[in-house]
Amino acid sequence: MPENAMPGPSVAENAILLHACCGPCSITCILRLRDMGFAPTLYSHNPNIHPLMEYLRRRDGLLAVAQRLDVPVILPDQDDPTQAAPDSWLAAMSPLGPAVADMARRCPVCYDLRLAHTAQAARALGFPRFSSTLLYSKYQNHEAIIAAGERHAGPGLDFVPEDFRPGWDEGIRLSKEWEIYRQPYCGCLLSEHDRYRKKVRLRA
Ligand code: SF4
């Protein structure tokens, strides 16, 4: 549990710790949760985002959204953003061996790593529930995200499996209007490779 993660001694009954991957994906998740009567706090734990300068760009975008929507944000790496090294992600992927190239194999492991950390923080801080902005993306495996969330929920801690995808277009519109950094690939170096491989091949 990060030492600097301290939302206060009493957490509201409607509080929810929202694992947030980036600014653009957070926008409509925050708005939707508020519509549902929840009071979200953002929690950023994303050792899957590489390289470091890309991680920092997304982190800055997340902070800009938090400021604009007046949402509390907890950054486990608040004092030193370079703590967000990819070590834990690489360690989690290592048992996969060559199968790491397969999204269907690596992404569920990636979700589990981030939601396990978020659930641990939610318990330590007294949040009664948690969710993830990963459920906003049309490109992620929702069944695997929900399975990971439910695996790490338990007595006193619910996972909210809200489907945020209906806010997809609005999230894109607002992130452009607010000039929030929009990433061109999912996060890990493998996704960056997948993203550009076809273009590079066409150029060759
Ligand atoms: S493609 Fe995205 S979700 Fe899948 S392992 Fe890479 S960063 Fe994680």
Fold of 15-203: Rossmann fold (3.40.50)
The string of DSSP letters for 145-197 reads HHHHHHHH-BTTBEE-----GGGHHHHHHHHHHTT----SS-SSHHHHHHHHH
The string of DSSP letters for 60-107 reads HHHHHHHHHHT--EE-TTSS-GGG--THHHHHHHGGGGGGGG-HHHHH
Tokens standing for residue 39 = 């009071």
Which atom of ligand 1 is the closest one to the Cα of 191? 1
CA of 128 to the centre of ligand 1 (A): 27
CA of 12 to the centre of ligand 1 (A): 32
Q: Tokens 């944000």: give the residue.
A: 73
Ligand 1 pocket check for 115: Cβ under 6 Å: no
CA-proximal residue: ligand 1, atom 5 (nearest)? 107
Binding site as annotated, residues: 21-22, 107, 110
Return the domain boundaries, the chain.
Answer: 15-203
Ligand 1 pocket check for 86: Cβ under 6 Å: no
Q: Rounded to the nearest 5°, which phi and psi values hold at 4? A: -95, 10
Report pLDDT digits (tens) over 35-89.
999 999 999 999 999 999 999 999 999 999 999 999 999 999 888 888 777 999 9
Tokens standing for residue 145 = 């995200």
Q: Tokens 């549990």: give the residue.
A: 1
Ligand 1 pocket check for 175: Cβ under 6 Å: no
Tell me the pLDDT band of 199, cut-offs 50, 70 and 90. Answer: confident
Report pLDDT digits (tens) over 103-160.
999 999 999 999 999 999 999 999 999 999 999 999 999 999 999 999 999 999 999 9
Question: Taking a C-beta distance cutoff of 8 angstroms, is the pair 58, 25 a contact?
Answer: no
